[in-house]
Amino acid sequence: MTSPYPTPELSGRKFFMNFPVTDTSHALDAYRARGGYQALAKALREQQPADVTKEVSAAGLLGHGGAAFPAGRKWSVIRPDDGEPHYVCMNADEGEPGTFKDRWLLEYVPHMPLEGLILASYAIGGRHAFIYIRGEFDLAYRRIQGAVDEAYAAGLLGENILGTGYALDVVVYRGAGSYVCGEASAMLASLEGKKGWPRNRPPRLTVKGLYQKPTVVNNVETLANVPVILALGAAEFKKTGTPKSPGTQMISISGHVERPGVYEVEYGYSWERFIYDDCGGIQGGRALKCIIPGGVSTKILDANEIKGVTLDHLSAVAAGSQLGSGGMIAVAEGTCMVRLARVIQRFYHHESCGQCTPCREGMGWMERVLDRIVRGDGRPDDIDRLYHISNANDGTTICSLGDSAGYACTAILDHYRDEFEYYIKNGRSMHDGRLAVFDPFDGAVPTPLYAGAGA
């Protein structure tokens, strides 16, 4: 049983996802009818690999995985003709809490990132490419694997693509349950059939990546933008969005909004309009308390702090946060931030790979402290403890899981210290302690399936 996502709402103009989502809109012929794979045909027939990279650089495409690193710059480190194997890996290991836009892309328009993957491989001189996908994904996996199969059958993959002589094999590699494998170097370790332990840099992955060969790792949405850029041309592409953030962002919004879902938003769009108009405002008619903008490690902005802020990288940074991967979580007034912090730290503790000292020890420590506070046994110096652990993880770890946990925690502490102080002093939440505004299971009495089973 699958449930359809809300179709992406178009905030005003039609952008790159401007097609009606149906039962078949993900298929190859539907994609081709919309102009799909024309950019690939043109690139393979008329352009050199370096031209593709140039176009993507000129378009100013920034990565959509959270780091917003210029995609063209990453590709240009690799010389396509240096005789070494090169690999592109599509990072479809979407695991950041609150982020589900890559899943949407894979389910409803898998050929778009696939075409981008083939173009990226062409640009860097790759013969094999990989799609590393969440091990848990169900329909998303079947759709992208289906798209790969369709592409092979149509001569868009394999030997001699479209008769141009370019050859590419694509493997869809399913993960097996690890958030940290979304980190590029951990992803490649996993692709090598090993445990997902991230790696220190240097060397960069574009110098020594998969099996020690130059490798580019790009997010699904980043790659989905590539055929758009090549079809429109960089100049036309840059007419969308803002000068520093050209194009659009697929925003995943969840939490206490009336209409959660995936929205394609043009960079520069008003944040407040997005929350209050497009997403229907906050459940239960409540006021907005705060937004976690782009993944749980991005700094919280409260309702006042998003006033006048637009959804683009510069603006978000100026407001004191980042857009990250666009996985937005809205929190309503009256929600207990202490309990939310605990849920988030429980996640980080569960996912820490255990390699480096600050994260391995710090994640468990933070969860234990927050657990204790939530149980009503907090101490006044626990707040200092949490700051200490967070700061001691900042910039000292192999990958950014440790830093992220620290940022998430300090962001909540910075804004809502009073809630923590209250909880510690009184042994209970300042609010009613509930995390949901509407809990469908509120008051529901379960009927035991087995005689004698208790509630």
Partner 1 sequence: MTQQMKNIQHLLPEFERWKERYPAGFEGSLTIPCLRRIQEERGYIADSDIDELVAYLGVPRTQVDEVLGFYTMFTRTPLGTHHLQVCHNASCSLRGAEGLIRYLCGTLGIQPGETTPDGRFTLSTAECLASCGTAPMMMVNEAYHENLTPASVDALLEELAK
Partner 2 sequence: MSADRKRGNNEPVDTGKTLDFFINGVPCTAYKGESVIQAARRAGVDIPHFCWHHDLSVPGNCRICMVEVEQDSGDPWFDIGCNMPVTAGMRVLTETDTVKKLRRETMQFITLNHPVDCGICNKAGECILQDYHYEHNGRASMSIDRKNHATKFFPLSDRIMLDNERCIMCTRCVRFTHEVSQSHALAAVHRGDHALIRPAEDANFNEDAYSDNVIDICPVGALLSRDNMDNARVWYTKATPSVCPGCERGCTINIWHRKPEWALKALDPQLNTRIERVTPLENETVNGPWICNKARDLATLLERPRATQAMVRGTAASLTEATAAAAALLAGARTAVALVSSWGSNEELAAFRDAFAGRLGATLTAYAKPDHLPQPGEIVEDAVLIKADKNPNLRGATAHFHLLPADVSAALAGADVVLVWGEGVDDGVLPMGAKVIRLDGFAHEHHARADVFIPLSIQTERSGHYTNFEGTVSPFVACFEPKAPVAHAEALFARLAGVVAVAEART
- 138 touches partner 1 by CB under 8 A: yes
Q: Which residue in the block uniquely carries the two structure tokens 């200092």? A: 384
- 187 touches partner 2 by CB under 8 A: no
Contact with partner 2 (CB under 8 A): which of 54, 174, 204, 385?
A: 385
- Distance (Å, rounded) from C-alpha 385 to C-alpha 391? 10
Single out the segment in contact with partner 2 by CB under 8 A; choices: 130-138, 332-340, 395-403, 411-419: 395-403
CA 149 to chain CA centroid, Å, is 25
Compose the 207-226 pattern: x for residues touching partner 1 by CB under 8 A, - for all others: ----x---------------
- 360 touches partner 2 by CB under 8 A: yes
- 176 touches partner 2 by CB under 8 A: no
Contact with partner 1 (CB under 8 A): which of 94, 266, 403, 419?
A: 94
- 203 touches partner 2 by CB under 8 A: yes
- Distance (Å, rounded) from C-alpha 385 to C-alpha 356? 20
CB of 197 to partner 2, least distance (A): 8
Contact with partner 1 (CB under 8 A): which of 91, 325, 335, 404?
A: 335
Contact with partner 2 (CB under 8 A): which of 327, 358, 409, 424?
A: 358
- 292 touches partner 1 by CB under 8 A: yes
Q: Which does 404 bind (CB under 5 to 8 A by kind): partner 2, partner 1, none?
A: none
The two three-digit tokens of residue 441, written as one number: 């299971």
- 193 touches partner 1 by CB under 8 A: yes
Q: Where are the alpha helices (DSSP H) in 375-400?
A: 382-392
- 217 touches partner 2 by CB under 8 A: no
Compose the 419-438 pattern: x for residues touching partner 1 by CB under 8 A, - for all others: ----------------xxxx
DSSP for 72-100?
HHHHHTS-TTSSS--EEEEEE---STT--
- Distance (Å, rounded) from C-alpha 292 to C-alpha 296? 6
Q: Which does 395 bind (CB under 5 to 8 A by kind): partner 1, partner 2, none?
A: partner 2
Site for partner 2 in 295-354 (CB under 8 A): 349-354
Q: Which does 397 bind (CB under 5 to 8 A by kind): partner 2, partner 1, none?
A: partner 2
Q: Give 25-28's long-range contacts (Cβ < 8 A, gap of 24+).
A: 25/108, 25/109, 26/107, 26/108, 26/109, 26/110, 26/111, 26/143, 26/146, 26/147, 27/150, 28/111, 28/147, 28/150, 28/151, 28/154
Other Cβ atoms less than 10 A from the Cβ of 443: the count is 6
Residue 408 carries which side chain, given as an amino acid letter? A
Residues in the chain: 455
